[in-house]
């Protein structure tokens, strides 16, 4: 006599485990994306160190009009380093 396996139970158990792994992976990936997208805010432009190409940093130093904040971004790579651009944004 051969033992019958309940295949649906085995597949269901494996499916749940795979779904849990996928959910953990997606949650971790989402947190990494959110962390890299986060923008820093500093009080002075002098507090910005190693600005990278494409990086944006908000500077709350009071130089912009009310309701706006200064945004400093790395716009262009030159032989001497990254060129900074400054503009006031709402």
Q: What is the pLDDT along the chain (90 residues), one digit of tens a residue?
A: 566 665 555 455 567 777 788 777 777 766 655 555 556 788 898 888 889 999 999 999 999 999 999 999 999 999 999 999 999 999
Residues 50 and 83 in one domain: yes
Residues 7 and 32 in one domain: yes
Residues 30 and 46 in one domain: no
The residue to which tokens 């953990």 are assigned: 24
Structure tokens given for 2: 């051969």
**Residue 52 sits in which domain range?**
39-90
Residues 33 and 44 in one domain: no
pTM of the model: 0.55
Residues 6+ apart with CB under 8 A from 58: 39, 40, 41, 42, 69, 70, 71, 72
């Amino acid at each position: 006599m051969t033992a019958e396996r309940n295949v649906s139970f085995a597949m269901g158990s494996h499916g749940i485990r795979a779904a849990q792994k996928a959910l953990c992976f997606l949650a971790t990936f989402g947190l990494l994306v959110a962390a890299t997208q986060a923008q820093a805010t500093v009080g002075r432009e002098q507090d910005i160190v190693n600005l990278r190409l494409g990086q944006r940093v908000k500077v709350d130093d009071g130089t912009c009009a009310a309701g706006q904040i200064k945004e400093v971004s790395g716009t262009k790579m030159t032989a001497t380093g990254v060129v900074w651009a400054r503009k006031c944004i709402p």
